[in-house]
Each structure stands twice: as structure tokens, then as C-alpha cells.
Amino acid sequence: MALPKVIGTETEYGIAAVGAPDFNPVLASSLLINTYAGALRRIRWDYEQESPLRDARGFEPVQVREPTEEDMGLANVILSNGARYYVDHAHPEYSTPECANPRELVVHDKAGERILERSLLEVDRILPPRQRLNIYKNNTDGKGNSYGTHENYLVDRQTPFGRIVRDLTPFFVSRQVFTGAGKLGFEATWDDSRSPAFQLTQRADFFEAEVGLETTLKRPIINTRDEPHADPDKYRRLHVIIGDANMCEVATYLKLGTTALVLKMIEDEFLPDLTLLGPVAALHEVSRDISCTTHIRLADGRRLSAVQLQWEYLEHAKKYVQQEDAGPGHAELLVRWEAVLSALEDDPLSLHRELDWVAKYRLLDGYRERDGLEWSDPKLRLIDLQYHDVRRDKGLYYRLEKSGKVERLTTDGEIERAVTEPPEDTRAYFRGQCISRYQDAIAAASWDSMIFDTGQEALQRIPMREPLRGTAAHVADLLERSPDPTTLIDLLQG
């Protein structure tokens, strides 16, 4: 039986400055995070268990990764909601706490946007006059550089990695039809002779390999990083680097929910072989077809559109849920998945309330027609970027949301709670509660441990190797009975 799918996202936000000729994105990102974090800056991130160069194909790291000066700096904090907020590759990055279902993940992904928005407000108070920072939840600077939005899924260690590659590659190539954030133009170095004005995704241009460990060069469809942040004998953490940064809640929900369900089917050997011929080329072709009708070649000789390929996955998912796993939330996910695929078949542009690429395309096309602009006009590039602005009074996505033109799955109240409160049904609850209650006694933390300094000779490490333990059901009473960290540790060890 497949494992429950604990999930999370990591989003590198775009950062830019106005009125700052000496702008340094690393320093600006650090300022942004440290200003928001306040006293939490003193809790360091624990790198002892990290191994980003270990490869799921069985390769040993080519070198031992030593924490960099950037890593060890102050701009790397753990928040009371269980999330991590830090500088990565000159970007502010927000990693959600672990979530046990896709809807909860949508809430905490949106909480990240609120945290970046509030960070901007705090920084604005201390910047010199006429200087300001802007933050965008997108994946490209329009100058040939891309930054990531990564997904993470708990996977059974016993599942052969080759099967994950076989069954997940066609899914990732085809899911672009609902996960894409939309993009004006192209930035690829490969054949651009038939590049359109607009494409489905921001990330497809930057992928060049089928399988690999890289995340910044020669990016692969399937990333092989083997860093579980959990019991390594039982679990993998599938690190997915091929998704876009979504603003639309429905798109985020489908991206995480469908992928988690497909991974369950892979673990239970429920899928047929849908191997593609030339998946990297197919990835580019799907992204560059807003009609969603381009056919891509399968190894068995068939030619299917991305939508037809998604129907293959959906039909097997229906049978799987009926026969193997009628878990909570699956029925709702299947209904939503089917409705979106049906609309993509009939009229993709009807999905402007649900999908980012459609909402953005209609927005750009409206401005283009109104003002008589060519698709290459710089004004449209600014509109493309402004769609992703995290400020609710400036971002064009948020203007659509305010006017009721995009569909919500969450409430503002839920998002506000998630800014400070962790999910209650994963180990993030224990981490977040400890940060809230005992922050002065926490020396360091990571995804799978907390290190306490209780004044004793030795620091006390509390391991957290099980992502579905440390929940409110497991530890809420224990925390209530622990007025201080020493009592907590005694109760845990008793």
C-alpha cells in the first residue's frame, strides 16, 4: 500500500530594486528576511544531516558540501508556522511547512506570499527615500535566468527509482496544461524559429535533460537528489524542480494533488507504460501550444496531445481510488481534475478563473487589443511581470482576485492563521510550537530535528524522522504540560 503523501513547496521569489544603483540581490534578500524575522534570527539552521549531492541512482557525492558563508549567515530562519525563510542563490526563498493534503498546502503556499508582502512593508520603513524593493512570485527575469519553484513528496524508499522516472516523466510533460504560469516570449537557446508570442510555462525553456542531479544548469525533468529529511531507510523525498510558481489556488491544488496521487499509483504499480519518445522536446512543444492540441509521440507508437495523456492518468486514477485508496480528498481532486481536462478539450481559454496561464493570456491580450500593441511591445512584458507582484494593492493577479475573476479555494482567515500557525497533522506542528514556546532555548533546527540549549553541558537534539509524527494529536497535550524546554525533553525521554 502506498505511503501517505506528505508534501511541500520551496519558492525562490524574484527580487528587484527601484532607486538603488548599487543593488545587491543577496544583501537585499538578507535585509528582507532579517527585518521580518526579528529575534528568530538567532536560531541557526542545522546542516549536519543535509546531503544535496547524494544521487537517487546510487551515486556517491562527488564532494562533501560545506555550508557556505551565505548558508551560515543570519538570513536563514525557521518561523513559528514551521516554515523556513532564507536566502538561496540571491533570492528570498520560502519553504512551506510539511502538509498532509494539497488544500492545506495551498493555504501555506499563500501564507508565503503574505510573509513576503509583509517583509516588504517592514523594509520600506528603513530604506532611504525613493528606494524600494519589489518581489515577484515568478520564475524568470526575462534575461535568460530562471529561478525555481520546487515541490517535495514523501515516497517509499522501496519503490524502484527507474519506475518513478518511467511513469512520472510523461505526467510532468503533460501536466503543463494546467500547472503553467504563462509566459510572454521565450528564452531558450535551442531552435527558436517557430517560437510563439506566448507559452504555457515559465520553466520549460530552461530544461535540457531527462534525468539528473542539477537544479541550475542542464536542468532535468526528473531530479535525482536523494535527501529525504526523514528516516533514510524508509523514505525518499522526491524533489521536483519542473513546476511553475502559481498564483491561482486551483492551479497549485491540481499541481500538488494530482502529482501526489500519481506517485501513489507508481508505488502500487498501477500505471501502464506511457513512455515518451523525446520527452525534453515534447516538454518544449507542449509549453508552446496554447491550443493544447499538439500531439507528442509515445514509445508504443501512439501520438497523443498533452490533454489526452492526462486523461490516461485520470482514468487510471479513478480506478485506483475506487479499488485501492478511497482516501480523504481524493474524490474532490478527481472531480476538479476531470472538469479542467474537459474544459481544456473544449475551450482552454474558458479556464481564466482557474489557471494562471489562461488568466494571464486573457489579461495580456486585452491590453494588446485595447492599445493596439504588438506582442513584442515592452509594455506587455511589464504587465506579465506585474501579474506576479506579491503586493495585494499592486499585483495584477490580486486585482483579478479582488474583482472576483479568479476562483478561491481558501479564505483570507485561513491564510492569516497559516502565517503564524503550523499545520496540525504533520511534524511541522511540533517544530512550529517549539519555535513559538521555547525560542530562547533553541540553538538550531532543521526539517528532521530540533536542538535545544537548556543550560546543560551538552546540547539536546530531538530527532523528528517521521513526518507524520509530532502532530497536534501526538504532542499537543505534552506541550501543554511543558512550561519549559527541560520539562519537554524529560517528558520525551521518559
Catalytic residues: 88
Q: How would DSSP label each residue in 265-301?
A: HHHTT-----PBSSHHHHHHHHHT-TTS--EEEBTTS
CB 455 within 8 A of CB 489: no
Q: How far apart are the two ends of the chain, measured CA to CA in Å?
A: 33
Contact residues for 470 (Cβ-Cβ < 8 A; gap 6+): 426, 427, 428, 429, 430, 431, 464
CB 471 within 8 A of CB 70: no
Beta strands in 53-165 (DSSP E): 76-78, 84-88, 91-95, 132-136, 149-156
CB 245 within 8 A of CB 138: yes
CA–CA distances in Å: residue 307 to residues 10, 222, 291: 27, 20, 10
Strand partners, 14: 136
Structure-block grid coordinates of residue 123: 523594509
Q: How far apart are CA 461 and CA 477, in angstroms?
A: 21
Q: How far apart are CA 2 and CA 86, in angstroms?
A: 33
Structure-block grid coordinates of residue 438: 521555547
CB 15 within 8 A of CB 91: yes
Tell me 52's DSSP state: T
CB 363 within 8 A of CB 387: yes
HSE toward the beta carbon, residue 434, CA cutoff 13 A: 33
Cell 503533460 identifies what position? 174
Q: Which amino acid is at 237?
A: R
